[in-house]
Amino acid sequence: MSVLNIIKIGGNIIDDPEQLEAFLEKFSALQGRKILVHGGGKIATRIAADLGIEAKMVEGRRITDAPMLDVVTMVYAGLTNKNIVANLQKLDCDAIGLCGADGNVIKAVKRPVREIDYGFAGDILADSVNSLAIKKLLEAEFTPVFSAITHNGLGQLLNTNADTIASSLAVALSKLYEVSLIYCFEKNGVLLDVDNENSVIETIRSGEFEQLKDNKIIHDGMIPKLQNAFDAIAKGVSNVYIGNANNLHLYQQRKFGTCLIA
């Protein structure tokens, strides 16, 4: 199987034009088949506020009502996605921007209403990813760039977590490719000492993860991130890297962040 790298960047990079440009240069320089998944950033919140649309929160969770869905569709799948694609094209990376509806690449279900009605939030199921459509694009030598918008197959767009999109793509495509999933964030990796950026743990095996948790070496906020990563590995992803977007150029030298393996 040939190698596929799936890279996810978050809002902190999207929001900083200089950092984004530097990141896209490193991304475009990566050899081989690759996919970019990007989160939203603060532009949607700002535009919603400018449009007089209130950001609705219930128990600290964001609610996507109909006006907010329009805003995130505009910003994530339009403004942000197309500017990223145009910048990658400048760098000779043949990017093609996608939301889940394009080529029916990711279908989701509207989150069921239980205690909270999340509105137009989409949950990804096991069979949500259309690997064959994505494979067609990869084999045609396009570099897919995913925004965090999906659809339900019935004409409804849905707002979906970008981390989940990245891991769902990685799991589904691991049937066709040898997939590495690379989460870029603001730290250099999983740190032994949260205040020391040089204390990156190079490798964590799934067996060691439990131990690190028990010994409270891994910071609380990192636990769900790592749990999701090991879940993806259990489902077929070769390895998951967590590191600093600014260091992506070190990835193909295997000097990037923390590597999680089975």
Q: Judged by CB under 8 A, which of 5, 45, 64, 87 binds a copy of itself?
A: 87
Per-residue CA distances from 189 to 30, 92, 112, 137 (Å)? 19, 29, 35, 31
Kindly tell me the sign of the dihedral angle through the C-alpha atoms of 167, 180, 241, 238.
Answer: positive
Q: Is 155 annotated as a binding residue?
A: no
β-sheet bridge partners, residue 149: 159
From 75, 106, 121, 218, residue interacting with a copy of itself (rule: CB under 8 A):
75
- Which residues between 146 and 185 bind a copy of itself (CB under 8 A)? 149, 151, 153-157
Q: Residue 161 contacts by C-beta under 8 Å, 6 or more apart in sequence? A: 148
90 lines the binding site for a copy of itself (CB under 8 A): yes
Give the residue, chosen from 78, 178, 187, 235, that forms a contact with a copy of itself under the rule CB under 8 A.
78
Letters for 15-54 (x = contact with a copy of itself by CB under 8 A, - = none) are: --------------------------------x--xxx--
- Locate tokens 């070769």: which residue? 238
Site for a copy of itself in 116-145 (CB under 8 A): 133, 136-137, 140, 142
The one-letter amino acid code at 158 reads L
- By rule CB under 8 A, what string of x and - marks binding of each residue 92-121 to a copy of itself? --xxxxxx-xxxx-----------------
Inter-CA distances, 216 with 112, 192, 193, 261, Å = 34, 10, 11, 20
Q: Which residues pair with 241 in a beta bridge?
A: 182, 259
The two tokens of residue 166 are 């990245």
Question: Which residues in this chain contact a copy of itself in the complex, by CB under 8 A?
Answer: 47, 50-52, 70, 73-79, 81-83, 85-87, 89-90, 94-99, 101-104, 133, 136-137, 140, 142, 149, 151, 153-157
